[in-house]
Each structure stands twice: as structure tokens, then as C-alpha cells.
């Protein structure tokens, strides 16, 4: 089943995080501003709709999947830090600030394979909707006029098959 957000913290999560420093105080200013921007409901809703469109009954049946908010934040962090999916999993698992930023806290971090699938799911139309909403928020906050939007679509040649030596 697809969810918008993680549910309430369990008693175990609270016990594990008890006494830990407040991750918001440890967050760098740039990441804190992005954190505030990603609290926008329409951004999360766009990701949620893309995830619901993957399978016909995914919003009502099956096991709980990665929440839309977590997927959005992890993919933003991946691109922000220029990490691979494996690095993303590793860094978020071991860093209290990143766990808070991604809204995982004491929960389980989605593995690299799951994030690859979610990254592929959020390409094209869904990603364009996220970009449009970010520009709209920036225009509302008077960060930019938002008349035009340009996306870097640089193509880089990569070897697909490698020969064994």
C-alpha cells in the first residue's frame, strides 16, 4: 500500500532516539531551507500520485511501501549530494540528520534497489510536476520571478557492457 507519510513513532523509536541531539539544530542552513520547502503538501501529493499509478491496486492492497514523503526527500538528498543509490542508503542509515531530513527517524531506511525503482517511477511527467511546483513556491516566496524554467539534460556516454579481462 502506498502512504503519504510514516505513521506515529513507535515506543521503540522513541527509546532509541531518547537523549540524541535534536537533528534540526545539527542541520546545515541550506539543508534546513530545503527541508522547509519539501514540507509542501502539493509536492508530496505529486509524488504520491505517481506512486499510486504504478499498479492499479497499489493504494489499497499489499504491504506498506516507502511513503511518498520519504521517497521524495531521499531522492532530493541523493541528487543534492551527488551520491549513488548505494551511497544514499549508507549515508542515511548512519546519519541522524539525514534520517530526520528524510522523515525516517528510527525507522528502516529503504534499500538502494527500492530507491532505484522509485527514482525511475518519478521521471518524466511526475518529475516535471515537482519542478513546476518548486518554481511556483519560489515565485510565491519572491526568490525568483519564475517566468522560465530550464532543466539540465546533459547526456553522458557510459559503457553498458564491460568485458572481463
pTM of the model: 0.70
Give the tens place of pLDDT for each residue, 110-123: 999 999 988 888 88
Reference 69, options 127, 3, 114, 145; nearest CA is: 3
Distance in angstroms (rounded) separating the CA atoms of residues 165 and 154? 31
Cell of 156: 553522458
Amino acid 133: pLDDT: 82
In this predicted structure, what is the pLDDT of residue 128? 80
pLDDT under 50 in the chain at which residues?
A: none
What pLDDT score was predicted for residue 88?
94
The Cα–Cα gap between 40 and 60 comes to 24
For residues 74 and 57, the answer to whether their CB atoms sit within 8 Å is: no
pLDDT of residue 62: 61
Please answer whether residues 114 and 66 qualify as being in contact, where contact means their C-beta atoms are separated by less than 8 angstroms. yes
Q: What is the pLDDT of residue 136?
A: 82
Amino acid at each position: 500500500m502506498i502512504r503519504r507519510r510514516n505513521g506515529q513513532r513507535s515506543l521503540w523509536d522513541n527509546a532509541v532516539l531518547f537523549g540524541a541531539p535534536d537533528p534540526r539544530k545539527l542541520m546545515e542552513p541550506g539543508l534546513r531551507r530545503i527541508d522547509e520547502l519539501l514540507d509542501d503538501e502539493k509536492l508530496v501529493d505529486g509524488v504520491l500520485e505517481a506512486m499510486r499509478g504504478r499498479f492499479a491496486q497499489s493504494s489499497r492492497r499489499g504491504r506498506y511501501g516507502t511513503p511518498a514523503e520519504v521517497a521524495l526527500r531521499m531522492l532530493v538528498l541523493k541528487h543534492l549530494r551527488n551520491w549513488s543509490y548505494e551511497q544514499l542508503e549508507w549515508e542515511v542509515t548512519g546519519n541522524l540528520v539525514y534520517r530526520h531530513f528524510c522523515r525516517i527517524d528510527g525507522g528502516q531506511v529503504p534499500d538502494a534497489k527500492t530507491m532505484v525503482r522509485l527514482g525511475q517511477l518519478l521521471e518524466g511527467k511526475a518529475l516535471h510536476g515537482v519542478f513546476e511546483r518548486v518554481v511556483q513556491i519560489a515565485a510565491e516566496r519572491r526568490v525568483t520571478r519564475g517566468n522560465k524554467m530550464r532543466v539540465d539534460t546533459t547526456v553522458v556516454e557510459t559503457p553498458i557492457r564491460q568485458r572481463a579481462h
